[in-house]
Structure 1
Amino acid sequence: MGIVLVAGAIVSEIAATLSLRASHGLTRLGPSILVVVGYAAAFVMLAQALKTLHVGPVYAVWSGLGTVGALAGGVLLFDENVRLATVAGALLIVAGVAVMYVGGGLEH
């Protein structure tokens, strides 16, 4: 169940971050509401997941995959540019998250 909560927290965080971009500095009501709701949901799910999972690997997975997801969302939704170095950095993030996940163990 903890992994499902982490996955939900990642999706919520990505949605909130992309809504933050769409809010134009929190001046658009709809996206601004999604920012608050998305981040609140992400933190609630993350807090619940940490009842049974280790904080280090979970935070690495949440922040790393959230970063890569926000990057992908920015490209797909806002036509943001991606350079080769950006792709390399995203791949390094995913590799680092995988190493922490495997090496750190998740359940306590």
Structure 2
Amino acid sequence: MMYVTLAAAILAEIIGTMLLNQSDGFSRLWPSLGTVGCYLLAFALLAQTLKSMEVGVAYAIWSGAGTAVVAAIGVLFLNESASPAKLLGVVLVIAGVTLLNLGGAH
């Protein structure tokens, strides 16, 4: 169940970040409110995850997965660059999260 809650926290953080991009520096009301709501939900779900998972592992998965997915969305849908350095960074984030899980996330 902790991975379901963590996945929901990651999804809320990703949606909040995409809305943050649309908020135009918090000058547009609805995307701004959506950003705040999604981040509040993400932190609430992350807090629930921490009841059954170590904070270091949970936070690494939450932030790493969010970072990787947002970077991929940026490249695939927002016409952001896909430089070798950016791709390597995403691969390293995924590798780090994998190593943390292999080291005792259960």
Q: Which amino acid aligns with 2:70?
A: A
> What number of residue pairs does the alignment pair up?
106
The alpha-carbon deviation at position 11 of structure 1 amounts to: 0.5
1:76 aligns with 2:86: no
1:4 aligns with 2:4: yes
| Counterpart position of 1:32 | 32
The alpha-carbon deviation at position 34 of structure 1 amounts to: 1.2
User: Alpha carbon RMSD of aligned pairs, Å?
Assistant: 1.0
Query: What is the CA–CA distance in structure 1 between the aligned matches of 2:77 and 2:26, rounded to whole Å?
Result: 18
The alpha-carbon deviation at position 76 of structure 1 amounts to: 3.0
Query: What is the CA–CA distance in structure 2 between the aligned matches of 1:10 and 1:105, rounded to whole Å?
Result: 16
| Counterpart position of 1:22 | 22
Describe how 1:38-77 pairs up with structure 2 within 5 A. 38-77=38-77
Aligned identity (percent) is 43
Query: What is the CA–CA distance in structure 2 between the aligned matches of 1:105 and 1:72, rounded to whole Å?
Result: 25
Q: Which amino acid aligns with 1:62?
A: W
The alpha-carbon deviation at position 30 of structure 1 amounts to: 1.6
**Runs (5+) with no aligned partner, structure 1:** none
The alpha-carbon deviation at position 47 of structure 1 amounts to: 0.3
Q: Which amino acid aligns with 1:79?
A: N
The alpha-carbon deviation at position 53 of structure 1 amounts to: 1.1
The alpha-carbon deviation at position 82 of structure 1 amounts to: 1.5
The alpha-carbon deviation at position 88 of structure 1 amounts to: 0.7
Query: What is the CA–CA distance in structure 2 between the aligned matches of 1:104 and 1:21, rounded to whole Å?
Result: 35
Q: Which amino acid aligns with 1:46?
A: L
TM value normalised by structure 1: 0.92
Moved over 6 A (4+): none
Query: What is the CA–CA distance in structure 1 between the aligned matches of 2:11 and 2:59, rounded to whole Å?
Result: 14
Q: Which has the higher contact order (CA 8 A, sep 6+)?
A: 1
* 8 Å CA contact retained: 1:61, 1:97: yes
Query: What is the CA–CA distance in structure 2 between the aligned matches of 1:95 and 1:68, rounded to whole Å?
Result: 11
TM value normalised by structure 2: 0.94
